[in-house]
Amino acid sequence: MAYLIFDNLNGLVKIAANDSDKDNLNLDLSLYSVVSVSDSDFTKVKNNVVEPTYDGTSVSYSEDEIYSIDQQNLESIIDDYKKVIKAFLDVPSNEGKSNYSAIKSYYDYLNELDFSSLSYPIESSWESYCQDNSISYFNPLQIP
């Protein structure tokens, strides 16, 4: 069972692939709407293929725009992702979280990424690109 976590304005704030990931989020979940979704819908959200909206009762999905990412845009996207991940890694108490090592590995991968070695434009989201190329990845919304 996967989860989407929405704030009181029904804006998406976090996503979790399973109960363990949900429980590891640095949130007081009683302050949020936690909605269980299918693994298929979760993967679409994780890969930025759809945009979820929540009306307080149910989740609906709209497809995101068609992607065409050039090197400069990708570098900017990755820089933003690295900031979110680094904030998580810099908190000593997070080292005990079950996904810490995997998140650290992804951060190391992003730091070592040779942007010039990729073919542009990338015609998908970064997350879809990672999935299609068997790269272990996290959507920033998954980072506790």
Domain-ending residue, one of 29, 47, 63: 63
For residues 36 and 128, give the distance between their C-alpha atoms in angstroms, rounded to a whole number.
22
> Which residues constitute the domain of residue 123?
71-142
Domain-ending residue, one of 63, 82, 113: 63
Domain-ending residue, one of 11, 38, 63: 63
The one-letter amino acid at 20: S
What's the whole-model pTM score? Answer: 0.91
State the total domains in the chain. 2
DSSP state of 138: -
Of 124, 125, 88, the closest CA to residue 106 belongs to: 88
Q: What integer is the mean pLDDT of 116-120? A: 96
Q: Based on the fold, state whether residues 134 and 90 are members of the same structural domain.
A: yes
pLDDT at 26: 86
Average pLDDT along the chain? 95
Which two three-digit tokens encode residue 121? 């434009």
Asked whether the bond before 121 is cis by omega within 30 degrees of 0, the reply is yes
Q: Based on the fold, state whether residues 87 and 105 are members of the same structural domain.
A: yes
**Residue entry with tokens 């497809």:** 63
Q: Based on the fold, state whether residues 56 and 19 are members of the same structural domain.
A: yes
For residues 108 and 61, give the distance between their C-alpha atoms in angstroms, rounded to a whole number.
32
What whole-number percentage of the chain has pLDDT above 70? 99
Interval 82-108: pLDDT, tens: 999 999 999 999 998 889 999 999 999
Q: Based on the fold, state whether residues 55 and 80 are members of the same structural domain.
A: no
Q: Based on the fold, state whether residues 54 and 101 are members of the same structural domain.
A: no
